Amino acid sequence: MSVARTTEISSTSTKSFDDAVRVGVSRATQTLRNVRQAWVKDQEVMVENDKITVYKVNMKITFVLDD
């Protein structure tokens, strides 16, 4: 039997939402062990001078706790 925990993180990218997800998962796996899934809870953009400058995702990261 395993026990999992979920934590919420935010990640940004100047390229795309997909890149923001990749950056967030990559960073989470540097600190958390046994990451099993990521759920994108919501997305938003920052706009300056009528152009998108930052893509942001809020995610829930699920990881299995060590025995």
Q: Which tens digit of pLDDT belongs to each residue from 29-53?
A: 999 999 999 999 999 999 999 999 9
Examine the pLDDT at 1 and tell me if it is beyond 90.
no
User: Where in the chain are the domains?
Assistant: 4-64
Three-class DSSP category at 14: coil
Structurally, at CATH architecture level, domain 4-64 sits in: 2-Layer Sandwich (3.30)
Q: Which tens digit of pLDDT belongs to each residue from 4-33?
A: 999 999 999 999 999 999 999 999 999 999
Its pTM stands at 0.90
Burial of 30 (0-12, 13-18, 19+ CB in 10 A): exposed
- Would you state the pLDDT for residue 4? 96
